Structure 1
Amino acid sequence: MEYIIDGIINGIIQTTALEWIAVTTGLMSVWFSMKENILVYPTGIISVLIYVYLAFQYKLYADMGVNLYYFVMSVYGWYYWIHPKDDSRDQVRVTINSAKENLITISLLLGSFAILYFVLSNFTDSDVPFWDSTTTSFAIAGMWLMARKKLESWIAWIITDLISIPLYFYKGLVLTSFQFLAFTAIAFAGYLAWKKSMEEQEKKVSSQA
């Protein structure tokens, strides 16, 4: 226990200003996401671009790649959220996956894991290829679901966050590790908030029918 506490204190002391900015904007992004606030995307973009740089420094190559993917999906999600097919709404509403979308999600998850694990194991000096690939593949699926405003996105984020907590602590990014602990709590709250939002919208549609 003393080793863990000392590691936490030393890690926080050694945390760079850049990581503090990435953590702060990352937490803001997840909070805005839970609130269905469009600011999720500009704050998220700042965070992920910083993490591209940090992940490269710490040899978390899959994580570096997924943050580049986050950037692209953030731009797409930003556009998608504010361009609903129903012109009477300011944003698209929360929905759940159809059977086809579940198939796409599973294919994206398994396909990205297989590719990432193969590449990291054979072509990089990563010392955590399995765990790096696992968190990254769930995050890839989660970001796609988030951009499409799907309730299942929060399940993918919860799994990603729970695995990322010990992974980042092991790599010495202590503050980021605790960021993922906070992400986990927010993700649970986000799931409940989006579920409530979806149910309220369904009731509203039913009452108008």
Structure 2
Amino acid sequence: MIEFLFSQYRDYPKQDIILEIVAIIFGLISVLFAKKNNILVYPTGIISTVIFVYLLYKWELIGDMLINGYYTTMSIYGWYLWTLKKNDHEEYPISVMNKKEIGIGVIIFLITVIFVILVYHFFDKFTSWTAYVDTFTTGVFFVGMWLMAKRKIENWILWIIGDIISIPLYFYKGYTFTSLQYFVFTIIAIYAYKEWKRNLAITI
């Protein structure tokens, strides 16, 4: 079983394996902070995404690298938004999407998918079915991160969808640790959605 799960790491540089594990640990810590609606989700998340940008660039996983580069940028943006207060209250409390935000979310998804398709064509990365799945998950995660910055409860639904798809996807690509990370992410996201939903019910 161990051989089946981790044999692909046999030829990996030791420092890359260590960096992947460190990035995963900080990623899990970040999601736990997000579940608790704690602003520390952002600094811990930035550490994880910056490491993954480096690793994914090295592994030539362009779509995944773009996702994590975007995560880093949106983490800075979300960190700023979550610090804003109005009359001693959070300016962006947990809330649900309105029609305008749904429209913006659809636009972000479509623009992201088109952009990734163009990038993949430029780098000639449409050589496997995984590239086509990557275009979809990138769009889902881009919208999810934007909604997280806005503290919209629907962000967790998108994380759950993207995480479930990413579990077998990363395992197939040969990154078992990252695949296991997305498995844990899925579980946390389900509980986080329930917790945010309870918090939302209290504030309404």
Instruction: Name the aligned partner's letter for residue 17 of structure 1.
Output: I
Tell me the equivalent position of 1:110. Answer: 110
In structure 2, the CA distance between the partners of 1:100 and 1:91, relative to structure 1 (3 Å rule), is closer
Q: Which runs of 5+ in 2 are unaligned?
A: none
Q: How many residues align?
A: 198
Verify: 1:10 aligned to 2:11, yes or no. no
Instruction: Name the aligned partner's letter for residue 16 of structure 1.
Output: I
Question: Which string of whole-angstrom CA distances, capped at 9 and with x for unpartnered residues, describes residues 147-173 of structure 1?
Answer: 000001001111110111111111111
> Which residues of 2 match residues 1-209 of structure 1 at below 5 A?
6-11=3-8, 16-84=17-85, 86-89=86-89, 92-125=92-125, 127=128, 128-202=130-204
TM-score (norm 1): 0.88
Question: Which string of whole-angstrom CA distances, capped at 9 and with x for unpartnered residues, describes residues 173-209 of structure 1?
Answer: 101100000000001111111111111011xxxxxxx
State the secondary structure of the residue aligned to 2:60.
coil
Question: Which string of whole-angstrom CA distances, capped at 9 and with x for unpartnered residues, describes residues 30-79 of structure 1?
Answer: 00000011110010000000010111122210111121111111011001
TM-score (norm 2): 0.90
RMSD of the TM alignment (CA)? 1.8
State the secondary structure of the residue aligned to 1:95.
coil
Q: Distance in 2 between matches of 1:161 and 1:50?
A: 19
Q: Distance in 2 between matches of 1:12 and 1:179?
A: 16
State the secondary structure of the residue aligned to 1:125.
coil
Q: Distance in 1 between matches of 2:186 and 2:174?
A: 19
> How many percent identity over aligned positions?
41
* Superposition deviation, residue 94 in structure 1: 0.2
Instruction: Name the aligned partner's letter for residue 18 of structure 1.
Output: L
Q: Distance in 2 between matches of 1:152 and 1:179?
A: 21
Q: Distance in 2 between matches of 1:117 and 1:165?
A: 22
State the secondary structure of the residue aligned to 1:8.
helix
* Superposition deviation, residue 122 in structure 1: 4.5
Tell me the equivalent position of 1:207. Answer: none
* Superposition deviation, residue 114 in structure 1: 2.2
Please say if residues 108 and 141 of structure 1, whose CA atoms lie closer than 8 Å, have aligned partners that are also in contact: yes
